[in-house]
Amino acid sequence: MSVLRPLLAVAALVAAPHARASGKVFFGSGAALFRGDTDGTDVRSIAGAIGAPLTGLAVDAATRQVYLSAVGAGIFQVSLEGGAVTGVVPGRGGDFLAVDVVHDRLCFVDGAGLTCGDSLGDNLRLLEPANANTIVGQVAVDTATGEVYWAVVQQVGPATRCEIRFPLGTTLSQTCNGTGRPQLAIDAVARRLVARFDADLVAVDLDGSDFVDLPDPAYVSHALSIDPLEGRVFLDNDGLGLHSIRADGTGDTRLLDAIIDGSTAVFQPALLGCTVVDDGVTATLRCSDGTTAIIDDGSDGAPGIDGDDGAPGIDGDDGAPGIDGVDGVDGAPGVDGDDGAAGADGGCASTPALAPWAVLALLWRRRRQGSSDPDRRRYRGPRSRP
C-alpha cells in the first residue's frame, strides 16, 4: 500500500516551518520521567519518583496524558507538561503499555502476559498468557480503530517462531532466532507497523500486506515508538542512549546519551486534535478544526489519494496528471503519477506554484520511494492462527 503522510494544518506547517511545534519524546530513567524534543534537545525531568523504574510508557494525545508503567508498583498517569502523578491500576503493569482513551482501551504486558481492559483499568482480560514457551512482547493500539496488535516469540517444538498478532485472530509468523522480548510500534497515520525480533527489523501494513525486511540496527533495543508525523522510529541503544531511524530502516541517528530503563513514547503537537478514522476501505484524518484529509482510499482506486494505479489523484502510482512524474518526460502535469509527466521533477514543462499540501505530498512521496525496491520481500496477508 502506498500512503501519503497526512497534512494537518498543512498551510501553516509548510508556509512557516520554523514555527511548527516540535514533537516530544518521553522516556524513563530511574524512577523519573523525562521529556525532550524529537531531535534530542531540550531534555528535562517532568515527573519525580514513583517507587520503581519506569518500564512502559504510552501517550494519549486526546487527553494530553502520559501513562507510566512500573514493575510491581502499578500504572500511573501524568500530564504531558508534568506535575502530579496519579494511579490508574495499582500493583499491575510491566515492560510494555498501550493506551487509547477515545476507544476506551488500556493494555499492558507483565509477568502474566498481555492484559487489556478499559482506559480506567477496569474489566481487565488476559489476551495472551506468558509461559515457558511464549514470550509476550510490546503491545500497541491503533488509534484509528482501537484494535490491538502485539509481538510474540513462541517455541513450537524445536522451532522458534517470531509472530505479530493482528486483530481478528490472525498472525504473521516466521522462523527466527528470537530470544529476547520482541518490540512493536504502530504508525496510525501511515497505517503501518514496525517490529523487531532480536536482529530482525521488519515493517508491514496493518492489514498484514507489504511485509518488508529492513536494515537492522547494530545494537540491542528494548522498545520502539514512532513519530506519526515524521515517520521516524525511536529506539534505545541497550538502555544507554536514544536513537531514531527512518521508516525504511536507514538514517540511524544517535540523539542523546541517557540511561533509558524501558519504553519510549512520542507526542506530535502538530497532530493534536486529529484522529485517523479507518472504516476498512478509506482512512481519513479528521481534526477538531474541521480539517480532513484522505490518507488512503484503497489500492488501485481512481480517482483519489493513494489509488496505486488510479488517476488522477495524489500518489496514483501510474496515474496522470500529477506532480513529480519521475519518468514522465513527455506527459502532462499531475500529482505524483510515476509514469505521468511533467510536474516537479518531470523534467519537462513547468508547472504553477504548488499548494502547501502538494509540497508535503511531494516530500512524503520521495521519502517513500525507497519502498519500491524490487528486491524486498513481500507478504500478501496474515494467515490464520492454528
Residue 374 has pLDDT above 70, yes or no: no
Choose the weakest-confidence range: 157-161, 206-210, 323-327: 323-327
- Render pLDDT for 327-343 as a digit per residue (tens, 0 to 9): 333 333 434 434 333 33
pLDDT of residue 306: 36
One-letter amino acid for residue 198 of the chain:
D
pLDDT tens, residue by residue, 216-274: 998 989 999 999 888 899 999 988 899 999 988 999 999 999 888 888 898 888 777 77
pLDDT digits (tens, 9 = 90+) for 273-290: 777 887 777 878 877 777
pLDDT at residue number 185: 96
Q: How far apart are CA 206 and CA 271, in angstroms?
A: 20
| Higher pLDDT, residue 356 or 154 | 154
Residues 6+ apart with CB under 8 A from 340: 311, 318, 319, 320, 321, 322, 325, 328, 331, 332, 333, 334, 346
Per mean pLDDT, which of 67-71, 214-218, 303-307, 369-373 is the most reliable?
214-218
Report DSSP state, residue 272: T
Q: What is the pLDDT of residues 130-184, one digit of tens each?
A: 999 999 999 999 988 999 999 999 988 888 999 999 998 889 998 887 777 899 9
Asked, for residue 354, whether it belongs to a domain, the answer is no
Domain that holds residue 65: 24-271
Instruction: Say if residue 303 is preceded by a cis peptide, omega within 30 of 0.
Output: yes
Residue 301: inside a domain, yes or no?
A: no
Q: For residue 137, which amino acid is it?
A: G
Q: Which residues does 348 contact at the CB level (< 8 Å), separation at least 6?
A: 328, 329, 330, 331, 341, 342
The answer as to whether 19 is a domain residue is no
CATH code for the domain of 110:
2.120.10.30
Q: Does residue 310 lie in a domain region?
A: no
Is 177 domain-assigned?
yes
Residue 266 lies in a domain: yes
Residue in 278, 181, 334, 257 with CA at minimum distance from that of residue 29: 257
Average of per-residue pLDDT values in the chain? 74
Q: Maximum distance among all alpha carbons in the chain?
A: 67
Structural Rg of the chain based on CA atoms: 21
pTM of this prediction exceeds 0.85: no
- Structurally, the chain folds into a number of domains equal to 1
